[in-house]
A = this chain, B = another copy of it.
Amino acid sequence: MSPLVKIRSERDQMSAVERRIADFILENAQLLRDYSSQQLANALGISQSSVVKFTQKLGFKGYPDLKYSVGEAIARADNGDATQVATQATAAFAESASASLWHCKSESEEETRHINTTETLQAVADALATAGANGKVFMIGLGDDDIYARSFALRLSLLGIPSVHNFDAPRMAASVSAAGAGDVLLVFSEHGNHPALCKIGRFFRERRGRLITVTRHTSNPLRALADLALLVSAHDDRPYIQPVLYQSALQHLLDGVFVQLCEGDEQRHVQLLANLERVQHMLEP
């Protein structure tokens, strides 16, 4: 039972001094944190031993025990009331920018998680795994999109799925000419309407490869070509925030695929561990 409720319920059967202690605690529970038994006694003009006896009578092991319990009770109680208001106020001042940024990002990530079904993620993971084992994985992105492609390619390589990575369209067209059935091409393109990329996509499909696109959640020509389409949702009125959100939502999406790949196959998992160590050794002699 909450110590405060207990104190209140026994208050009637208490002596005068005890009742004063009880009242003080009930009214100033939050002050208790900084009060020793002696200080509490001083505040009430009574002896410290009375305070201790009071706590023991109530069934606590001693003063610190009561104090601890009251702390818990307060924490439980204002979980979502006063504290939160205070916290919000503080937050508004101290970390306005970063906290609100965090909030936007979370929102985008959640939306993105929502519009990509688990099945799609799984299908993408499977396609990559298969192509990694029996064929090739191609990957391309232009400009900013190259960053995501690059980072994902690095991750895949740790899993034993190396990829052919290009960051301009003409070279990619050349690379893709070597593609065959079962291969996978992953195209990153935020707006999905770059003609060269579409051309490469079509070319790749003609060669019976599976095309996976990663674009915004709009209808766009690139996505229309895809066997599997990963979609990213990210919106903000402030134009400088938008790319931040896009990137973080995209990253989150790719993280999901990566995790599914890791957890899907024990052997890949083992390989990852080995690779991680290897990389670490090479980079930090």
Interface residues of A (CB under 8 A from B): 33, 64, 67-68, 71-76, 79, 94-95, 97-98, 101-102, 105-106, 109-110, 113, 118, 121, 142-144, 147, 150-151, 154-155, 191, 193-195, 239-241, 243-244, 247-248, 251-252, 255-256, 258-260, 262-263, 269, 272-273, 276, 279, 283-285
Asked if B143 and A252 make an inter-chain contact with CB atoms under 8 angstroms apart, the answer reads no
Asked if B142 and A147 make an inter-chain contact with CB atoms under 8 angstroms apart, the answer reads no
Report the nearest B residue to A79, measured CB to CB: B79
Asked if A147 and B144 make an inter-chain contact with CB atoms under 8 angstroms apart, the answer reads no
Asked if B101 and A68 make an inter-chain contact with CB atoms under 8 angstroms apart, the answer reads no
- A260 and B98 alpha carbons, distance in the complex (Å): 9
- A251 and B251 alpha carbons, distance in the complex (Å): 10
Report the nearest B residue to A152, measured CB to CB: B147
Which residues of B lie under 8 Å from residue A76 when comparing CB positions?
75-76, 79
Which residues of B lie under 8 Å from residue A258 when comparing CB positions?
240, 244
- A101 and B247 alpha carbons, distance in the complex (Å): 17
- A4 and B67 alpha carbons, distance in the complex (Å): 20
Asked if B97 and A256 make an inter-chain contact with CB atoms under 8 angstroms apart, the answer reads yes
Which residues of B lie under 8 Å from residue A259 when comparing CB positions?
97-98, 101, 240-241, 244
Asked if B284 and A105 make an inter-chain contact with CB atoms under 8 angstroms apart, the answer reads no
* 5 A-B pairs with C-beta separation under 8 A: A102-B109, A102-B113, A240-B258, A240-B272, A248-B248
- A16 and B121 alpha carbons, distance in the complex (Å): 41
Which residues of B lie under 8 Å from residue A283 when comparing CB positions?
142-143, 194
User: Looking at the complex, which one of B143, B147, B193 makes contact with A279 (CB distance below 8 Å)?
Assistant: B143
Asked if B154 and A147 make an inter-chain contact with CB atoms under 8 angstroms apart, the answer reads yes
- A26 and B74 alpha carbons, distance in the complex (Å): 22
Asked if A118 and B147 make an inter-chain contact with CB atoms under 8 angstroms apart, the answer reads no
Asked if B142 and A113 make an inter-chain contact with CB atoms under 8 angstroms apart, the answer reads no
Report the nearest B residue to A102, measured CB to CB: B109
**Which 7 residue pairs across A and B have the least CB separation, nearest first?**
A72-B75, A75-B75, A240-B262, A147-B151, A79-B79, A75-B76, A244-B255
